[in-house]
Amino acid sequence: MFKGEATFIKALPLMASALIALIIGGLAGIGFIMLQAGYKPPAIFSLLAPLYGSHWYLMILGFTLALISAELLTLLSMEWARRVAPPVIIAVFLVFYWSGIILYSTGYTMQALGASIIVLAISTLYTAKTLLSRSWIGLPPTHYNYLLTLTPPLTGVIIAYWIISEKMDLPSYDLPIATLFLPVAAIIAVESRDIPLLLGIPPTKSLALRSKQLRVRAVMAYIASGIGVILVAMGHLIPGGLLLIVGGLLAASSVALLQAVESASKAIPRVIRVHVTTHTTISYIWFIGAGAIAIASGAGYINYVRVDDAITHMLTLGFMFNVIMGIDAILLYGHAGISLSETPKPQPWPGALLNVGLILRILYDIGIMQGWAAVASGLLTGIAIVGFYARNMRNIRKILKSKSRK
């Protein structure tokens, strides 16, 4: 078994946990929106009715947390330090992770959030020890390492303060929106490294790593976007929306996408360059759009808007999943030790279904379309996401199986 395959296999328990939470949370979300839109959910969705209120937890502190932790504890750890978290750390992580999901789904909210804080602490301790040391070839940590390491503990602080505020009647925020800090911050932290990497620019010559200006922009984007998310969660829509727009613009410019495309290695197939560029561009359109929706709602320009729902899905389905479909369609194979020449061409249909579905959802949220649009949105985005992962995991398994025979 070669190193790439061994690392990927060690990441599978975390990735599988993420996908299980994604499927359960997605089905619960579709059932809930059908009910809200005035439709009777089919039997499979009705069975998940007790989980309707757990949709946000399953998607953010379930799927997103497990996916980011899979990167931190295994894949990125192997890239940076040539090691992965010991099995005991991953096992303890999964015990508290699934305990949190079970507790939240059965009504033990505070206990579930406590379990999530422990999970975040495990990721923090291992990541700090690994990513804040010199790399296996002697490179010092960059802004990417520090921001990634900061993301789990800051998410833990957000959750901990909400618990304290509930107990002590302090000023607080909408926790499901506030925890969007986790995917937003993690993506902003990692993209300045991943975009040049995917386009074939060597890490030592990477635009984002060698340019102080771009590093500063990435840090400022991280700070502005994080504060923007919290302000929106507190109901301060106009300043929060402004900071999201500023953060989105800074983040988009920090990856220096156009310059990176121009400097991309000619060895990188055009289809990959187009795929990465398209999805990255669309992701930031949704990100900035979330800020615009917040401002428009806060200023009264949109009188009928489910602002929390619109912003949540623009930052998750729009921003996070476009990044996933644009980047993981290639990086997943690299993490498994599969060369670029063996990587199947990324398919455009999951992204097309995802973005059409999200457009329908936003049109429903702002009152332009009726409930059928929300139901169609849930089905389209669900098919897109499950289809994306099913296709790529099947391809990876097939390639690895073929390699093991040689």
Residue 47 vs residue 205, higher pLDDT:
47
- What does the pLDDT read at residue 342? 82
DSSP string, 350-363: HHHHHHHHHHHHHH
CA–CA distances in Å: residue 9 to residues 327, 338, 375, 392: 20, 13, 36, 15
Contacting residues for 18 by C-beta, under 8 A, at least 6 apart: 62, 63, 64, 66, 67, 70
- What does the pLDDT read at residue 397? 83
User: Which of 87-91, 158-162, 180-184, 207-211 has the least mean pLDDT?
Assistant: 207-211
Domain ranges in the chain?
Answer: 1-171, 173-406
Burial 115-136 (b: 16+ CB within 10 A, else e): bbbbbbebbbebbbebbeeebe
- Cβ–Cβ under 8 Å, residues 208 and 255: yes
- Tell me if residue 113 falls in helix, strand or coil: helix
Is the model's pLDDT at 383 over the cut of 80? Answer: yes
- What does the pLDDT read at residue 124? 96
With pLDDT > 70 as the criterion, what percentage of the chain qualifies?
Answer: 89
- What does the pLDDT read at residue 156? 97
- What does the pLDDT read at residue 304? 67
- Cβ–Cβ under 8 Å, residues 317 and 361: yes
- Cβ–Cβ under 8 Å, residues 1 and 404: yes
Closest CA relative to residue 227, chosen from 270, 266, 265, 178: 178
